Amino acid sequence: MRPIVTALVAASAISLGACDRSPTEQRADNVEEAAENRADTIEEQAGNRTENIEEGAENQAEAVREAGENEAEAIRNTAE
């Protein structure tokens, strides 16, 4: 959602500022804004990947704990 909002704000700013700028300056501004939007998207995707990695690690850790508990319970049941 953030990249969409950023793009809309950028488009508004570019269109308002385009009235008193040369075509070269407008083009340069467009390139700069497009790069900013791409960078924002990359950062957002990286954040999503990080969250997925953390979630996967938490799930794996929980599975190890459960396996350890199950094994310990099996040992206790064998001793009885």
CA 53 to chain centre: 11
Residue where the block lists tokens 């070269």: 24
Low-confidence ranges of the chain (pLDDT < 50): none
pLDDT value of residue 60: 96
- For the stretch 40-49, pLDDT in tens is 999 999 999 9
Instruction: Please state the domain extents for the chain.
Output: 2-11+22-79
Written as six digits, the tokens of 56 are 């996967």
pLDDT value of residue 6: 66
pLDDT value of residue 24: 93
Residue where the block lists tokens 């996967």: 56
pLDDT value of residue 14: 58
Written as six digits, the tokens of 57 are 């690690």
Confirm if 4 and 16 have CB atoms less than 8 A apart: no
